């Protein structure tokens, strides 16, 4: 009798131990499924959130794309590289307006030396400044007369970009540079080549600084015969001078002073 009871107790103990193991395995399995489901939900939520903000797929970052770029690439329209601001030069006319002190309003012309004479405030150097830089210079000049002056500056008159074509062309003269123009196009604008033109040695003079010019020889004859002449054709910049000679040029220095250029460019043609 005692032996039977001992056997029953041992069997009951083994049954209870086996049941506990089964329950433990079952709970572990359920917990693993739950964690996997939560992880998938979190990943789906992150992906959908990233797609709404423009971040890369699969990433957890929600930062917007860089302004001016699309998918990490530069976008010229949305803030890429732009042309530089216009800078004042002699003969430009600027209008200065004071919001709270209209008695200081004035219209000024940039002098040949680059200075302008402000009413009661004296001379300031304007040449080479863009409009915003010039406005700040005017504010600084009037701080001794006005408390925190509010100044507006507008550019009323300025020299439009130009190029000059001289020598053996149909209509030598000064032309407005309205768009991207090459040397060959400039010659066509100036009436084309004459019969005496030595167009294998066309000279392009380009301003380096106030007193120095750079000379470059161009073989327009070879360019016009070639199929890919546009790759060799030079694009003009404001102030460029194109000279088509009548005779061969034996030698020309790379850099010349502005007065020396007058030997090639006959001002009576303009």
CATH number of the domain encompassing residue 188:
3.10.560.10
More confident residue, 152 or 1: 152
Letter string b/e over residues 177-210, b meaning 16 or more CB atoms within 10 A of that residue's CB: beeebbbbebbebbeebeeebbbebbbbbebeee
Two tokens, residue 186? 């400039």
Question: Is 112 part of a structural domain of the chain?
Answer: yes
Same domain (yes/no): 6, 104: no
Residue 167 has pLDDT above 50, yes or no: yes
Q: Residue 30 belongs to what domain range?
A: 2-74
The mean-pLDDT minimum among 3-7, 10-14, 64-68, 128-132 falls in 64-68
Same domain (yes/no): 153, 167: no
φ, ψ at 122 (rounded to 5°):
85, -165
Same domain (yes/no): 192, 258: yes
Residue 176 has pLDDT above 70, yes or no: yes
pLDDT for residue 70: 36
Contact 156/134 with Cβ under 8 angstroms?
Answer: no
Residue 14 has pLDDT above 70, yes or no: no
pTM listed for this prediction? 0.52
Q: 258: how many CB neighbours lie within 10 A of its CB?
A: 15
Question: Is 237 part of a structural domain of the chain?
Answer: yes
pLDDT tens string 38-52: 445 444 444 433 333
**Nearest-angstrom CA–CA distance, 101 and 146:** 8
Same domain (yes/no): 252, 167: yes
Question: Is 86 part of a structural domain of the chain?
Answer: no
Question: Is 79 part of a structural domain of the chain?
Answer: no
The mean-pLDDT minimum among 143-157, 232-246, 252-266 falls in 252-266
Domain boundary among 74, 101, 124: 74
Same domain (yes/no): 58, 44: yes
Domain total for the chain?
A: 3
Banded pLDDT at 74 (limits 50, 70, 90): very low
């Amino acid at each position: 009798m005692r032996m039977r009871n001992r056997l029953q107790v041992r069997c009951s103990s083994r049954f209870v131990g086996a049941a506990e193991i089964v329950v433990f395995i079952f709970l572990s399995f359920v917990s693993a499924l739950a964690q996997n489901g939560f992880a998938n939900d979190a990943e789906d939520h992150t992906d959908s959130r990233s797609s709404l903000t423009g971040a890369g797929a699969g990433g957890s970052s929600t930062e917007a794309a860089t302004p001016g770029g699309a998918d990490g690439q530069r976008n010229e329209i949305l803030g890429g590289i732009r042309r530089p601001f216009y800078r004042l030069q002699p003969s430009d006319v600027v209008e200065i307006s004071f919001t709270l002190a209209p008695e200081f309003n004035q219209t000024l012309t940039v002098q040949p030396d680059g200075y302008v004479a402000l009413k009661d405030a004296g001379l300031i150097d304007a040449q080479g400044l863009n409009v915003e830089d010039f406005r700040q210079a005017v504010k600084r000049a009037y701080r001794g007369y006005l408390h925190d002056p509010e100044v507006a500056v507008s550019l009323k008159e300025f020299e439009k970009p130009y190029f000059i074509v001289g020598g053996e062309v149909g209509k030598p003269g000064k032309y407005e540079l309205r768009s991207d123009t090459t040397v060959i196009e400039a010659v066509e604008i100036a009436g084309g080549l004459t019969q005496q033109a030595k167009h294998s040695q066309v000279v392009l003079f380009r301003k380096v600084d106030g007193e120095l010019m750079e000379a470059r020889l161009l073989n327009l004859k070879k360019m016009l015969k070639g199929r890919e002449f546009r790759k060799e054709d030079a694009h003009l910049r404001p102030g460029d001078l194109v000279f088509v000679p009548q005779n061969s040029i034996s030698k020309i220095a790379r850099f010349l002073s502005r007065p020396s250029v007058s030997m090639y460019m006959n001002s009576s043609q303009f």
